[in-house]
Chains A and B, each alone.
Chain A
């Protein structure tokens, strides 16, 4: 039988780099940036489970891979369930190998949510990371349940008419030991959260905003700025929840006190070019409600 695995092609990178310099990611890709920090935080005894998403493509083409870590690519809906099986198998062998499912928003909030909900409910010992570029990026930016209202995608040429699904509150309803939100523009915060997540046994979840230059229609050089603006406006709230204890992360605390104008975030991105006034109002309302709820929870009200 032919060996169907693929070998590392690049060498000479730092021992702590698990993504080598030969990915086929787009310029300014923040999801590969996120993964770089996730893997650095996780270390070498880690297996990555990847459903259909940008990451299944950007790792390279058989027989080469840009990832210096075992990567198990699986069907779109299957990441959390495959990770379940893997976690159970490692447990049966007495191994402490990290199992990380790394999925896009389509693979999480849409087609993968059933398997994810099941895996969380079964208290699977794994970390599920949803990197959220707010559309089906790999297939050329079609609307997902995570696409914000008003955003143009190839299947919402007039702008999306429905709101972004509140994934985090769905996840929170599973009462898991650890969940956190993060953003590619804040890698240290992100890495700390990954480390904390992996130090806890049981199901962990992270939702990480991943600005996407071709999808969101901004210059590739602005990928960090756009991510920062999402946080500074308060639109993307960063926090972590350990069991019942919610801690709002520093940048979001600052945004709660003095938020950047929401319009500045929209103006940076071509996808919002047709955004209507009432849609801005809807987004603002949702954002304020979210921050109010988080604040109330953090203050123990």
Chain B
């Protein structure tokens, strides 16, 4: 069915297709619309889920953990301070190998209060063992949410998945959305280590160093195995629904001599900047990085790189740029932009590319 939707409502609509048995919900701007819409579905009977209106985000993730370990499908959504508040349980969910799916609406961190888009919230959770995907359109928010359940619940993965969408600029924008009947696209969840009172077992008790170490290594092994699962899932999705996704979305990259890399909605805006530069005779291309965990192999060639980071690791650098440098050994021009919802237009991005200074970092608009 072709309709229009906000990014938030697209996530909720995808959750309705996935039918989690338990949804834990706590409101936070700009995520609230997701849990409101799911509450509507549960109230009007179009989604048969137990809806737990928890008293905090810490409890939202805790409730998902308690529900998930019984072997059922779970979902929650959060943003910014909510994600930080549940950080302990975010780690726990991955360590407990639970296929929880969570939408995080990317928002800046206080103080001061700022409800607009920034990726520092979810990137602070990049070392937790969660898979993380960043989306840029309403359709992609819907599709990625559906795929997240299948990826998380795959026996080769058994790790939670976080779908990240930019606060307001994607969560609240209205675009067209094709809703799909997913049928058997997400197989029934079979959690091998689910609680069974007929075969009692302990979970998460005191664990000596060597065993603990091995269990942590297992998380990394599954993270590596998830690469194939993500590829298979995105391919199966393309075959079934005709919408194709991959590790990155590449726009006019084939013959490009300079690439602009970014995440989220800025990546779409960058495509418009590329068109402008191409008209000027500059061979530019835009590469939007979708998956951050597992971090993809990037096909960068020997092209010059401009990396836009809507986030920052204080004392170190933009996190996408740092990751690219660490993974590929390539230098780049790192532009810190869009922090706290800063307005960044395609003209601005064209300017970043035109005025690139490889090896340097700049804070757009504030770095004199």
Binding site for B on A (CB under 8 A): 1-8, 44-47, 49, 56-57, 59-63, 65, 67-75, 77-78, 80-93, 97, 114-115, 117-119, 121-122
Residue of B62, B97, B212 with most chain A CB atoms under a 10 A cut-off: B62
A57 touches B206 (CB 8 A): yes
Q: How far is B208's CA from A114's CA once the two chains are assembled, in angstroms?
A: 31
Number of interface residues of B (CB under 8 A): 53
Residue contacts A-B, CB under 8 angstroms, 9 given: A4-B218, A56-B205, A60-B202, A75-B88, A85-B74, A86-B195, A88-B67, A115-B62, A121-B55
Question: Which one of B46-54, B136-144, B314-322, B346-354 is at the interface?
Answer: B46-54
Query: 5 closest Cβ contacts across the A-B interface?
Result: A118-B55, A85-B66, A85-B63, A81-B59, A81-B62
A62 touches B207 (CB 8 A): yes
Q: How far is B203's CA from A65's CA once the two chains are assembled, in angstroms?
A: 9
Q: How far is B196's CA from A60's CA once the two chains are assembled, in angstroms?
A: 20
> Across the two chains, which residue of chain B brings its CB closest to A63?
B211
Partner of A1, one of B204, B207, B218: B218
Q: Is B292 an interface residue (CB 8 A)?
A: no
B214 touches A2 (CB 8 A): yes
CB-CB under 8 A from B56, the residues of chain A are: 81, 114-115, 118
CB-CB under 8 A from A82, the residues of chain B are: 62-63, 65-66
CB-CB under 8 A from B192, the residues of chain A are: 1, 3
> Across the two chains, which residue of chain A brings its CB closest to B63?
A85
> Across the two chains, which residue of chain A brings its CB closest to B92?
A75
- The tally of CB-CB contacts under 8 A between chains A and B is 185
B197 touches A78 (CB 8 A): no
Q: How far is B193's CA from A72's CA once the two chains are assembled, in angstroms?
A: 12
CB-CB under 8 A from B53, the residues of chain A are: 122
Q: How far is B168's CA from A268's CA once the two chains are assembled, in angstroms?
A: 63
A47 touches B50 (CB 8 A): no
CB-CB under 8 A from B74, the residues of chain A are: 85
Shortest distance between the CB of A160 and any CB in chain B (Å): 28
CB-CB under 8 A from A63, the residues of chain B are: 211
Q: How far is B75's CA from A101's CA once the two chains are assembled, in angstroms?
A: 22
Partner of B65, one of A56, A85, A91, A122: A85
A47 touches B72 (CB 8 A): no
Report B54-91 CB contacts with A as 1/0, cut-off 8 Å: 11101110111111111110100000000000001100
Q: Is B21 an interface residue (CB 8 A)?
A: yes
Q: In chain B between 172 and 222, which residues have their CB closer than 8 angstroms to a CB of chain A?
A: 192-193, 195-197, 200-208, 211-212, 214-215, 218, 221-222
CB-CB under 8 A from B21, the residues of chain A are: 88-89, 92-93
Q: Is B24 an interface residue (CB 8 A)?
A: yes
Contacts A46-B197, A63-B211 given; does A71 touch B202 at CB 8 Å: yes
A73 touches B202 (CB 8 A): yes
B205 touches A60 (CB 8 A): yes
Q: How far is B66's CA from A91's CA once the two chains are assembled, in angstroms?
A: 13
Q: How far is B87's CA from A78's CA once the two chains are assembled, in angstroms?
A: 12
Shortest distance between the CB of A95 and any CB in chain B (Å): 8
Partner of B59, one of A8, A72, A78: A78
A2 touches B215 (CB 8 A): yes
B66 touches A67 (CB 8 A): no
Q: How far is B88's CA from A284's CA once the two chains are assembled, in angstroms?
A: 41
Shortest distance between the CB of A108 and any CB in chain B (Å): 15
Shortest distance between the CB of B346 and any CB in chain A (Å): 44
B89 touches A78 (CB 8 A): yes
CB-CB under 8 A from A81, the residues of chain B are: 54, 56, 58-60, 62-63, 66
> Across the two chains, which residue of chain A brings its CB closest to B23?
A88
> Across the two chains, which residue of chain A brings its CB closest to B51?
A88
Q: Is B149 an interface residue (CB 8 A)?
A: no
Shortest distance between the CB of A96 and any CB in chain B (Å): 10
A61 touches B65 (CB 8 A): no
Contacts A1-B158, A75-B62, A92-B21 given; does A47 touch B197 at CB 8 Å: yes
A78 touches B62 (CB 8 A): yes
A89 touches B55 (CB 8 A): no
A88 touches B50 (CB 8 A): yes
Contacts A85-B52, A89-B72 given; does A78 touch B58 at CB 8 Å: yes
CB-CB under 8 A from A6, the residues of chain B are: 201-203, 205
Q: How far is B196's CA from A149's CA once the two chains are assembled, in angstroms?
A: 43
